[in-house]
Each structure stands twice: as structure tokens, then as C-alpha cells.
Structure 1
Amino acid sequence: MRLGEDFIDEIKARIRLSDIVGRSVQLKRQGREFVGLSPFKKERTPSFYVNDEKRFYHCFASGKHGDAFSWLEEMEGLSFMEAAERLSGEAGLSLPAPDPQAAERTQHRKSLVEWMETAHAFYLRALKSPAAAHAVEYLKGRGLTGQDCVKFGIGYAPDGRTVLKDELVTAGAPIGDLIECGLLIEPDNGSPYDRFRDRIMFPIHDPRGRLVGFGGRALSKEARAKYLNSPETSIFHKGSMLYNFPNARRAASDPKAGVKGLIVAEGYLDVIALDRAGMSQGVAPMGTAITEEQLNLLWRAGGEPVMCLDGDSAGRAAALKAADRALPHLEPGRTLRFAFMPDGKDPDDVLRDEGARALSELLEDTRSLVDLLWEREVDHEPLTDPDRRASFRKRIRALVNQIANGDVKEEYRNEFDRRMEAMFGTPARKGGRGEWQGGRRKINQGASLSLKKRMGSQMDKASMRQAIPNPNGRSLLLALIEYPDLVDELIEEIALISFGALDNLRDAVLDACSLGPAVSSSELQAELLSRGFAQDLKRLEGNRGPMRASIGGADASVSVKVGAWRRLCSVYMRQSGSQEQRNELRALAERKITENDSESVRSISEAYRRENAKDETE
């Protein structure tokens, strides 16, 4: 259903955006606007603004901009229609019904949900009855407390053929409605009877928070099915829902959450175990393989969902099935990660046997989707002859071709190519500005006299003593990552400059650019991500606009960008540090340049770091 612009504008007119945003961001009035710390990036100086008159927010730290609808979509992972439903309720409006029949169907579904809630209230009361003593003992044996049962709405379905039916019919429920919502089973011959009997009952809510189904865990060993879910109904579609999703989505949006994104476990009790271990963002697909609709729910909650699976062959098979299902739908910022429990254990077992810390550590030790797929293909058959290697390459190409998003497809292709080169080796070749030996660039270690003059005048006015470089320093590094062709021209200068806490990133850039000819920006970034520099790259992201303006942009020639980089470098060095450090750095650089030995660049870099560390400890 599409909403008209008039209706959307009416919603915006009836609510105050600062009220909506102020529930999760501490705002302070500043003139006609409200200001606060960015909810999207860590900062000390407020750069996030909300304007009630213009009905928008803007974050200068991240560049994010939007209205009340996009705020709920961004912060709570709601779809547009879910956000519209939430905001229309706050505005005192009802979403327009497209036609009278649709309104009737909506009202009927609402009545079915109400009977599900009535049934749930009955199950909750039943758990407190003497007949549920064995159910209570079972729950205690699994480590659940009364508080856990209340939080997750756990109840008990009595062991009687028509106990629930009699209760609801007495309350006025039509038999047809109870059959339609899956509470009763209608046999071919005979009277309808209760679907759930002598079972622990777990309520299942849809993404909007409506109670639409149940999962029942059998207490009798003679039960045909250990777990029994509600059937497909007009309000319950198992493949498009996740157990505990509404609560988990809210937990995942908490900036203090340890694991970012949802955690997908296999069963109800695993989800509850995660919550007891302090991770309230657990969900479960109710005994089925993950579906496309469920993947979209996971990604809607933000972050990178973690598939928490048993470490046995069945768990690995489930992980690979999820990976294959996700592959065509990958987009930047939308992927999966995988955490495997020890063989023979699920999260509930780990929590009871080893404690919450052990479970948390297992969930922090995740595997990427690309790693999982790579290992499967490598283990498929021995790659000992050309035919098998050719088959392996064909399978890898087929996987990459499933990815619809062009940028993600390119990154996966580059990553798999890099791994195949590392596995099978590459012949000696030439390319770019430098010579190639054994597949690696031979860096020119001898610095020229012109370099000495250039760097001498710059270093005479600079100090490298800083934890995180200033914006100009960050722009210098970001330029090398976005335009790797600069590295060939500037390699000695790059090695001479210290970027404080980002020196390791600088070294990784130099190293990665020596791995092959004509390294592209996407290849370089993929390499840096694989080496654990995700946080550093994120730290540089806010400098992309100023960097491009300073360097000249992608359309500028290499010589123009090199000249601009050197000018920016001079400014950066003039802005830094103490005179004593400047003199030491200059003397050290001149000595190493004059020596002109084969290790000069690396020696200078190491000496810089030693001198910086010594100065910081004084």
C-alpha cells in the first residue's frame, strides 16, 4: 500500500521531530534548532541538529539527513510502512484503508490476534496451576527463572483435548476463528480439538509486535513431535517471521550492545540463553532454514547478523545453506557472520556448562561469509591437478556471479582472485612503475637528493608527535587509499612521515601496494579490511570530501594529484609538534638518506616510531 503525500505531510505536521529523536539522543535547544552528539559517529563536539520547523535532522559528522520516517528506519530498522504506522498512531491518525474489503480483512485479522492473546493469557495462568508442576520443573532444569518466563511470556498448554477450546468458546470465540488462527485442529470426522496439549508454550510475535503464533515444546516423551509450531494462517507466516524479533531489534539498536546486529540461534531456549548471558538481540527461525524474508528482517535491524550454530556437521550445513541464500542479496553493509558452538553443544549448553563469558567469547569469534564459502570450495576436493583446479575456479566464479550488487561482486571477485594467487602462486611479471620479482613490487629504497631537499625543508618545521593525525594528516592517508597510483610516486615520502596512531595503517598501505601491479582502490581497501583496519578506515571516512577537494579528485592527472598531496603534506607537517622532535626527525632522515642502503625506508620508519614512543613516555 502506498501513502499519499498529503497524508505523510499531515503526520509530519502533527508530531514534533525533536520528541521522536529526543527519546534516544540527548538534545539541547540552540536557537530555533536542537543540537546533540551524533548518534551515528563518536564525537565530543555536538554536530547533530534537529529542526522542528523544517521537519528534518542533519548530522554533519556522518552526512546523514532525513525526517521522522527515515529516523525510525535508520535507528530501529523499521520498514517505511512500519514507521508510518508508528508515527500515524502518535499523530492520532489511522492509516487509510485502500478499500472496504481490505478494511474488513484487517479487522478480521485483528480479531484473530485478539483470540491469540486471550489464548496466551490462558497459557500463562495454566503455568501457575498445580497441573503444570512438571512443566515448572522442566523449566527450572533448563536454568530458567520465573523472571525469564515472565519476560518471554512462557506458558503451559494443559494435557486435555478441549481445555483451551472450552475456555475460549465460553469467552465468545467462534470455533471457525479458533481453527483459522491455528489454535484448534479440525479433523475430517469429529469435533475440533486443541492443537497444543501438555507443552511449554512460547509466544511468537510478528515484526509489528502482534502475537500471531505459538511454538510448543512437548513434555511427554511419547509425543510425535518434540517441537510443534502454529500452522500457516492468515496472520502467521513462519518463513517471514523470527522468534523474539521485536525485542531483539530494539536491543540491537542499543549503542552499548556488545554484538552489533541480531544473533540467529536455532531454537527458543537458545534465544533465551543468549538473553540470560546479556545478549538480548537473539532470534530464531523456528526450526526452518533461513528464508529471504527472514534475511531482510535481519538486515533491517542493522549491523552484521551473526548466525550462531552448533559446531557439528548439521550446524555447518545450516551455515552454508544460509550463506548460499544470502549471496544473491548482499549489498554494502549487508552480509552475514558465523559463530560455531563446540561440537555437541548449543548456546544453552554452553551457558549452563561454561557460563556467560564463554558464550560471549564464542560469539565474538566470528567467521565471515567469504571465509565460509572459500573453505567449502577448497575442501570440496583435492586441488592437486589442473583439472580439479580448473573446476575449483569455475565454482568460485559461479559463486561470484550470483551476487547482484556490482560493488559487492567486484570486491568478492578481487578477494577470491587474491586468495587463488596466494594458493596457486603467480609467475614473475612486470607492471606499473617498479620492477616485479616473484609477484611482489621491488621498492626503490634509494632516496634521491631532490627528496632530501624536499623532506628537509618540510621536516624542519614539523613534528610527528600526535595520537591521531589532524584532518590534513587523515586526508593524506585517505588519498593514498583512494588513489593507490600515488604510492609509486611518493613511496619514500610516505615512509618518512608519521601518522601517529595510524602508522600501522600507513605501513599496511605500503605493504599492500607491493603485492601486485596496479593495485586498485577496491583491492587495497579489501586488503586493509582483511588485516583488521576496519575501524581506522571508518575513522578516515569523514575526510573523504575535504580530501578530494585538496587532491583534485579522480579526474585529475597523477602528476596533479602528486603535487597537491605534497602541498597538503607540507601544511600537515607545519601544523604538528615540538621543536626538539622536529630536529631529531630531520637529523635521522638526513642520515638515512645519505646512507642510501637497501633498508633505508623501513629503517627510517622504524626509527621514527622508536623516537615517537620515547618522546611520549617522557
Structure 2
Amino acid sequence: MALPPAFLEELRARTPLPGLIGRKTRLARNGRQWKGCCPFHNEKTPSFYVYDDHFHCFGCGAHGDAITFLMRAEGASFPEAVERLAGEAGLEVPKATPQAAERERRARDLYGVCAAAEAAFRRRLMLPEGRAALDYLRQRGLTEATIARFGLGWSGEGRGALAADLKGEGITPEQLVAAGLMKPRDPDRPEAGLVDMFFNRVIFPIRDRRGRTISFGGRILGDGQPKYVNGPETELFSKRRSLYGLDLAREGAFRGAPVVVAEGYMDVIALHQAGFGGAVAPLGTALTAEQLEALWQVSPEPVLCFDGDAAGAKAAAKAAEVALPLLAPDRSLRLAALTGGEDPDTLVARGGPAAFEAVLAEAKPLSVALYDLLAGTSPPATPEQRAAFRNRLEAAAKSIPDKILAGEYRRSWLDRFFESSRGGARPAQKPAGGAAYGPRPSRDRRGRPGELVSIPGLQRAAIDHEAIRLERTRNLLAILIRHPSLLPEVEEALAVLDLPQGDCARLRDALLAWLPTADHLDLTSLMDHLRETGWESVVSWATRKQGLCQAADPEAQPKDALEAWWHFFGLLRGEAELIEDRAEAERMLVETNDPIAQQRLISLNKALDALRRGEADEPAESGTI
């Protein structure tokens, strides 16, 4: 039995071709596609190109999709290739049952039904009865070429008009119901008959990524409600997985156009007509995870451009929330802001393509835009507001699955958070009487705060907090360099730690990148890797003996090294963050009863204790009295 077209389409959509083909031949980015030497014939000059949904060799002519590639590269049969790809994609291959065969036949028929319905709607638009709809589209600034390209039509005003039009083509009312074009007049009374889904509406065909019509949307003429409706879920059409204009946007993106997500049909059509060939829109729902996956197959960084009103801002925030758990180093988003209640359609009509180009030029990376969305319209002012805002930033960063990327987001946000604190701080007033630094707390011989005193003319050396933090980071990294077997246990904690920018952060990333590739977690293997990858000088700095703790000695016991690592982790992480980490670990232990969660809770408790002991035992600062 042939497999259902919808299943095969889903399988291809869930199989990234560069990753699959990259197992057989080395690929390199070449614009928006990938390029490499053909795995099917011996060549020295690359002529093999991989696109989002197919490959093509300009040397030997090999061409196909993910299934074809497995069949050619490994000699697999069609069922074997499908089974393997489905297993990797988390899909279950449909069983060969009479019901499945019937669904397959209906699906093939429904594509034909939708195509015939689109042709009927388009014909009706050009008849005298469609004149009001055609005038409406022209008044919106659409050209005849645009109307034809998007297949726009008119539903008609009479009941049963579509069924009557298509009866001569052998299409039955039952097929129109299955395609979402008719529905029961009263679901509780089948004898009441059927009615058209679209009545007195301008029709917008909805197509899949391959350009096949799978459903329709309609806009009413006049003041009726709802203004826009989409067809219901069918065997061909799923609102969560479909994007209006995706078939045309794929072609536009291939030619270099930015992929832009707008809100509605007319926004997409107006943008395409203005030259923005990568425009798409969700279908009456908030942007879904499935739609984001489809977008990332076309572009690594689509631009979300929602209307410039409260609803648009809410939609942008919701889309960012959905995107965070799906982010990866090679896929993100940008957010473009419209103002004054504008939408792309009205903006282009008023200011032309240049006006929208200016909006795209100001699009913000997701990390910047999301910080602004989380901050709200008024910056947090009180300690309570700032603490709540920081908690929101931390929670958002934790939702990113890639640990290194999550750490970069967290670091970027906290840098901006603390910068805003410093920027808003009031400068200290110079006290009367000529005191150099004004009143400051004295300390007794044990370093405890005493009464406030003012000492005119006494110069106090400032504490270099950055140098202290750098030394703590050096010790933390040196322990892992000398004891790489500790890496699996501290991997997650290390990834989220906010380290000084530069060599420290990059060395941390190098250690985390080495971990999943290492055959043996020993000092010799790690040092060989770091030397080969150009980290020798940074490692020499990190492991120099001056100021280094005993736990960073290769001869130190692993237990002592691990305890010291958590000590430095606690000092760098901070007490408030450790308390939050511990609460999360407690929650995970209760939910999962996982030994790993239990060990993490024990380690965090040790880090918190070490931090508190370290702060209590810290010697008095020089220069105090």
C-alpha cells in the first residue's frame, strides 16, 4: 500500500537534509543552501547542492529528497528508508489497513476537490455577481497579476452555489464536507441538509509548502461577523501546521528575500506585491511550535512583524515564549516593531516599500526584543520589582534547551540588567568637611561593622571586584582542566554560570564542546585536545601555580576537587541564585525521584554552605579600621 501523502510530507518536513546528508559527505554553507562533493560519484570540485527539501548534483544529475538519498546512499528499499527516517523523526509509519487505504484515496481526492473549488471561486470573481468583491480587492491596491497569483476568488451569494458548480465534475456534497467547504445546517439534525462554509465572502486559497490548495479562508463584504473565517481541520489542513503564503515564501527566500511573519492574508499579499517575497502569516491562531519549525526550514532567522497595537505586542510576546524552548545556535528570530496602529498592509500602501524596508532594518534580535518585552513599558524601579524582573529573565533563559546558548542569553540579559542598575545609580555626594570618601563603616579587629566614622584625607584603595571574580573563575576552570572526569557531574551548572567575558567564557565553552566527543575523560586526552585547538596559552594562564588552590593539583583527590569546585561555583553564582537553583532541584527530585536530581540537590547544598562559610571566614579588607 502506498503511504498517505500527508504522512510523507510530514516525514520530509521533519528531516533536516543537511544533517542527514552531512553524515555521508562534508557540507559547507553556500548562501542559503549547502554545498559539497557528491557522494554518488568521484569528484574533486564540489557540485553537489543541498536545499531545504531536496538535493541536486550538477555533475552526475542525482536529485531527490531525504527518502531518495537513503535509498541511493545505502541501498535501502523505500519501506526501509521510510522506517528509518520515521524512527529518527519520532513518527509512526501508518499500518497497511483498509481504513488507511481509504484515507489515502480520500486525501488524493480532496486535493482534486480543493483545486476544483479554487477554480470555481476564481471564475465567480470575474462574473457580474463577483464585481463587488473584485472592486474591493482593487480598492485595497491589488493588481490583476497579484489577484491571479494568489488565486483570489468569490464564494457567491446563493446557498449551494459551489455544489451546483462542481456537480458536473462528479464532486459530491460529501466530498465538499470532507474538504471543509460545506457543513451540516444543524449538527444535531442530519435531515436538515448541508450549507456552504463560505457565503458572501472574498476567498483566499490556503496552500501547503508544495503549492497544493488544502483549504480556504474568507473575508465577508460589509459589516458582518466574523470578518475572517478559515476552513475547518480536515485530512489535508491543520491550522497549527500551515502558514499562509509559505509556498511562495520558500521561493522568495531562495532568491534572498527575508522571511517575514505578518498577521493576516492582506498583509502577506500586500508585502509580496511590494517586493517582499518571503512574507507568510499564521491562520487565525498564535504562532505555533510546528509553524516555527516550518519557518526555520526556510530561513535560520525569520522576522516577526506584528501589528503596532496592544494585540500585536501580545502576539509578539507569545511567539517569543513559544520559540524559546526551540532555539538553537543555528536558528533564532528577529522582531520588528510597527507603531501607531499600523500593519504591513497600510504601511506599504502609505509609504511604499521603503517604509517597510526601514521597519525591517530596525528589527531587533530575539535576545534584545525579549528583554524589552519582559521589562514591560516602565523599567523596574524598586528592589522588589527588580528582583521579580531578574527572576523572569532567569526563567526565560532556563527554558532554552541548548546549554551554551542558554548561558549566552542569560549573560547578555544580566549584563544589560546590571548596566541599567549602574546607569540609574546616583553619584555619591562629597561630604562637607573635606572627607575624601565621606562616612563609611568602620570595622573592629574581627572585621565586623562598627560605628560610622569620617576620616578626612584618608585615601582608601578600591577593592578590585573584577580581579577577585577572575581569580575565582581561574580556580574553577583549573580544577576541571586537572580533573576532567568531574565534567559530566558539573556540566549543567557550568553551562549556566555567568563567567567573565573573553578567554574564560570561551575556555568554558571549549570544555563543554569537548565533553560529548571525548572517548576518555582523562587529563592527557583533554590537554592534547586543548593544544590541538589552540588553547595552550590560556590553559597555561589558568593553571599557573600562583594563587591556585590545592584542589587544582592533578594529585588532589577527586572528592576534594569536586568539593572545591562547588565552593568556587557558589562564590561565582551568588547566594540568591543558589537558593533558587536549590528550590528547582528540590522540585525536580519530588517529581522524578531521580538519583541525578538527588545528587544535584546535595551538590547545591554543599555549594551554598561553602559560599556562606567562605563569606563568614573572609578576612577583613585592607585599609579598614
CA separation in 2, counterparts of 1:108 and 1:52?
38
Matches within 5 A, 1:62-461: 72=54, 83-84=66-67, 98-101=95-98, 102-188=100-186, 189=189, 190-221=192-223, 223-254=224-255, 256-257=256-257, 259=258, 262-379=259-376, 383-425=380-422
- SS of equivalent residue, structure 1 residue 308: strand
Separation (CA, whole Å) in 1 of partners of 2:354 and 2:70: 39
In the superposition, relative to structure 1, how do residues 272 and 523 fare at CA in structure 2: closer, same or farther (>3 Å)? farther
Q: Is the 8 A contact 1:441 1:517 kept in 2?
A: no
How far is the alpha carbon of 1:207 from its aligned partner?
Answer: 2.6
2-structure distance, mates of 1:517, 1:328:
27
* Alpha-carbon spacing, 1:438–1:59, altered in 2? closer, same or farther (3 Å): farther
TM-score by length of 1: 0.59
Which residue identity does 2:122 align to in structure 1?
Answer: L
The gaps in structure 2 that reach 5 residues or longer are 9-16, 22-26, 58-62, 83-93, 426-460, 469-476, 478-498, 511-528, 545-625
CA distance in 2, matches of 1:439, 1:148: 63
**Distance apart, 1:397 and its partner CA:** 1.4
TM-score by length of 2: 0.58
SS of residue paired to 2:396 = helix
Give the letter aligned to residue 156 of structure 1.
W
Partners in 1 of 2:375 and 2:45 — Cα distance? Answer: 47
Kept in 2: contact 1:400–1:413 (CA 8 A): yes
Which letter maps to 1:253? F
Given that 2:125 and 2:153 are in contact with CA atoms closer than 8 Å, whether structure 1 keeps it comes out as yes
Alpha-carbon distance change, 225 to 400 in structure 1, aligned in 2, over 3 angstroms: same
Whether the 8 Å CA contact 1:245–1:283 is kept in 2: the answer is yes
**In the superposition, relative to structure 1, how do residues 252 and 438 fare at CA in structure 2: closer, same or farther (>3 Å)?**
farther
In the alignment, the residues of structure 2 paired with residue 173 and residue 98 of structure 1 have an alpha-carbon distance, to the nearest angstrom, of: 28
Whole-angstrom distance in 2 between the partners of 1:353 and 1:381: 31
Match of 1:470 in 2: none
More deviation, 365-374/267-276: 365-374
Q: CA deviation at 1:382?
A: 5.5
Q: Kindly tell me: are residues 235 and 519 of structure 1, through their superposed partners in 2, closer, same or farther at Cα, counting changes over 3 Å?
A: same
Alpha-carbon displacement from aligned partner over 1:381-429 (angstroms, at most 9, x marks no partner): 65333333222222221111211221211111111221222123499xx
CA 1:517–1:146: 2 relative to 1, 3 Å: closer
* Residue 211 to residue 361, structure 1, CA distance change in 2 (3 Å): same
Give, in whole Å, the separation in 2 of the partners of 1:523 and 1:234.
Answer: 49
Q: Which moves more between the two structures, 166-175 or 408-417?
A: 166-175
Counterpart of 1:349 in 2: which secondary structure?
A: helix
**Secondary structure of the equivalent of 1:307?**
strand
When residues 370 and 124 of structure 1 are mapped into structure 2, their CA distance, relative to the original with a 3 A threshold, is: same
Q: Shift of the alpha carbon at 1:440?
A: 6.4
Rounded Cα–Cα distance in structure 2 between residues aligned with 1:200 and 1:86: 43
Inter-partner Cα distance in structure 2 for 1:167 and 1:2: 32
Contact kept, 8 Å, 1:124 with 1:153, in 2: the verdict is: yes
C-alpha distance in 2, partners of 1:198/1:69? 42
CA spacing shift, 1:59–1:324, aligned 2, 3 Å: farther
Give a deviation string over 1:409-457, Cα, whole Å, max 9, x none.
Answer: 1111111221222123499xxxxxxx98776679xxxxxxxxxxxxxxx
C-alpha distance in 2, partners of 1:553/1:307?
A: 43
How far does residue 285 in structure 1 lie from its aligned partner after superposition? 0.3
Aligned residue identity for 1:40: N
The one of 551, 560, 584 equivalent to 2:534 is 551
- Offset of 1:376 from its aligned partner? 2.9
In 2, the alpha carbon distance for the partners of 1:114 and 1:387 equals 61
Name the % identity: 33
Deviation at 1:364, TM superposition (A): 2.0
- Aligned to 2:204, the other structure's residue is in SS state strand
Give the secondary structure class of the aligned counterpart of 1:295: helix
Deviation at 1:175, TM superposition (A): 1.9
Q: Give yes or no for contact 1:69–1:83 (8 Å, CA) kept in 2.
A: no
CA contact (8 A) 1:165 1:193 kept: no
1:25 aligns with none
In 1, are the aligned partners of 2:307 and 2:313 still within 8 Å (CA)? yes
Q: CA distance change for structure 1 residues 330 and 346 in 2, over 3 Å: closer, same or farther?
A: same
Amino acid at match of 1:72: H
Q: Which residue of 2 aligns with 1:53?
A: 41
* Structure 1 residues 57 and 196: alpha-carbon distance in aligned structure 2, compared to 1, 3 A threshold: farther
- Once residues 115 and 423 of structure 1 are traced to their aligned partners in structure 2, the CA distance between those partners, rounded to angstroms, is 59
Decide whether aligned partners of structure 1 residues 87 and 67 sit closer, same or farther in structure 2, where only a CA change above 3 A counts. Answer: farther
User: 1-side partners of 2:267 and 2:231: how far apart?
Assistant: 19
Of 263-272 and 338-347, deviating more is 338-347
Query: Structure 1 counterpart of 2:235, which letter?
Result: S
Confirm or deny: 8 A CA contact 1:82 1:208 kept in the other structure: no
Say what the alpha-carbon RMSD is for the aligned residues.
4.6
Compute the displacement of 1:174 (Å): 2.4
Residue 506 of structure 2: which of 517, 521, 537 is its match? Answer: 521
Tell me the CA shift for residue 378 of structure 1: 2.6
C-alpha displacement at 1:52, in angstroms? 3.8
Corresponding residue for residue 31 of structure 1: none
Q: Contact 1:277–1:360 (CA<8 Å) still a contact in 2?
A: no
Check whether the contact 1:329–1:404 (CA below 8 A) recurs between aligned residues.
Answer: yes
Do 2:29 and 2:35's aligned partners in 1 also have CA atoms closer than 8 Å?
A: no
**TM-fit CA distance, 1:41:** 5.6
